[in-house]
Amino acid sequence: MSLSKALGRRVYAYPFALLLVVFIGVVSRIAYVDRPMDHRSLNAWREADYTQVTRNFYRGDMNILYPQIDWRGDTPGFVEMEFPIVPWMAAGLDRIFGYRESMVRVPSLVASLLALLLFAWLASRMLPPVGALFATTAFAVNPLLVHLSVSMQPEAMTLFWSLCAMALIWRWNEAPRHRTLLAACTMVAAAALCKSPAAYLGLVCSYVVLRKQGWHAFRDPINYGAALLMILPPMAWYAWAHQFWLAYGNSLGLSNESHFLGWDMLLPPKFLVGNLRTETINVFSPAGWLLAIAGAAALPVRARIVWVWLISIGTFYLVAARTSGDDWAYYYHSHSVAPVSILMGAGVAALHRGWLGAFWPRLKPVMERRILVALSFLTILSLALVTVRRIDQGDRSGGMAEMHYCAKYLQQYVEPNSLIVVRGGGSTDEYGKPVAFNESMVFTWMDRKGFNYPKDKLTEELIESIRGRGGSYWFLDTRDLDKTELKRSIRSRYKLVAECNGIFMLYDISHP
């Protein structure tokens, strides 16, 4: 075969292979878009919260400034949260097409598909074809992104706006124009509104501008306007939402969660182990670390903004280590998937052109190709297997299935306007810091409003206090009574309405 024919085949093979990879990514993302909010979830409390906010928009006022949850106690339910664009859009779709619980997955799916296409474009601009193809493949099959693509939470939307911001920042770095910078800062603001951790993009934008313009950056009024455009909308929203925490004590983990690194966490630094474990399993894979190291050393000049991107994300993980290092916070690590995929793609491209042989002259080209094939195959296989395992974990969530069944069964005994009482998680973490204890699944499944209390604060006085505020039906997990003094007095004090599977009991506490 002539050289020209071989090159011609490569030119036509690349777009075909890229389309195939994107098709696989699309199919893997749409598989569960019609699933309701049930027990098959790895992040049930967040999905339950978003279902409630969507449902309350749909049934009541569509004013996006007033999101409401159901574990509201005797308050109106207004809650401190990120800008509720996802549930608000879902409620709008419900009003147009009719209510479906799964509708709140649609905005996340659309954002996820757009993010996949945008990443494929960005990778193809930053990397040679073989590297871009691998980076897009890693992005397409990544377990976090596949899982979050139809999750009832804002991560997929945040990722899309973050990629828009990075694409524009990179574009401005290549060809500085005022309108590009203004657009980039607008995208940063949109990402931070969807989820506050995306504020790390401000570090990337600031670094690129200062590196490009030096001290002259402070003389350009457009830069100040761009900075305000990036900062003011998120600050205005979170300041507005904070009033709901001050007035009603309702928050989705903003003011009622301890996020930041403290001296008490440094010895031993378990937060580092937690972050590295999540990154290795869900973002890099063991073999992917080697590709990323090679990519970091051989990154093309035009793609070196990726270093700043990753360092900014790492800074966020470190500052928010009390959260980011926990197993439940796996979805925070979706932020690093895109830059890591580009790094791994750069590593593949470097090995493909013989980069390793330049450092190890005795290494034969055929051996370097075998190393490249082995590392690439193991990386994609590992990410794909974790994706399958993560889906299987959700499908086989046995403990949650029992709670879901019993909540649905006991729903018939609770009048629609009665307030239920449900236990949540613990009120503090292992370091004694306050955390968000609210678990909202039972409220969503029973479609009832009511009170949520921390499980480590359960006392007879607490239940009586809730009863005095209007609590009517206590959805009780009897396993909690083994650790309290309530076990002996509960049956004589309150009326047992129904029970489910010998574990979950429904007590009428309104008339002791």
Condensed to tens digits (0 to 9), the pLDDT of residues 153-205 reads 999 999 999 999 999 999 999 999 999 999 999 999 999 999 999 999 999 99
Summarize pLDDT for 280-294 with one digit per residue, the tens.
999 999 999 999 999
Q: Which tokens hold the place of 164?
A: 């828009």
Cβ burial of 118 (10 Å; 0-12, 13-18, 19+) is: middle
**What amino acid occupies position 74?**
D
DSSP-assigned beta bridge partners for residue 473: 420, 508
* Distance between CA atoms of residues 134 and 379, nearest Å: 10
Cβ neighbour number for residue 170 with a 10 Å cutoff = 21
74, pLDDT greater than 60: yes
Instruction: Name the pLDDT band for 295 (thresholds 50, 70, 90).
Output: very high
3-state SS of 101-139 is HHHHHHHHHHHHHHHHHHHHHHHHHHCCHHHHHHHHHHH
Average pLDDT over residues 240-247: 98
From the list 478, 475, 331, 330, the residue with the least C-alpha distance to 404 is 475
Q: What integer is the mean pLDDT of 52-61?
A: 97
The yes-or-no verdict on residue 7 having pLDDT over 60 is no
- Where in the chain are the domains? 3-71+105-394, 400-508
Which residues are paired to 81 by β-bridges?
none
Structure-token match 């292979």, residue found: 17
Of 273 and 358, more confident: 273
Q: In Å, how far are 77, 97, 257, 427, 450 from 69, measured between CA atoms?
A: 5, 23, 17, 19, 10
**Distance between CA atoms of residues 507 and 490, nearest Å:** 9
Torsion sign across C-alpha atoms 320, 321, 323, 327: positive
H or E element at residue 203: helix 201-213
**DSSP string of 470-494, one letter each residue:** TEEEEEEEGGGGGGSTHHHHHHHHS
The vertex-91 CA angle with 87 and 97, nearest 5°, equals 140
Q: Is the pLDDT of residue 4 over 70?
A: no
Mean pLDDT, rounded, for 424-441? 92
- State the pLDDT confidence band at 512, using cuts at 50, 70 and 90: confident
Residue 345: both structure tokens together: 């793609």
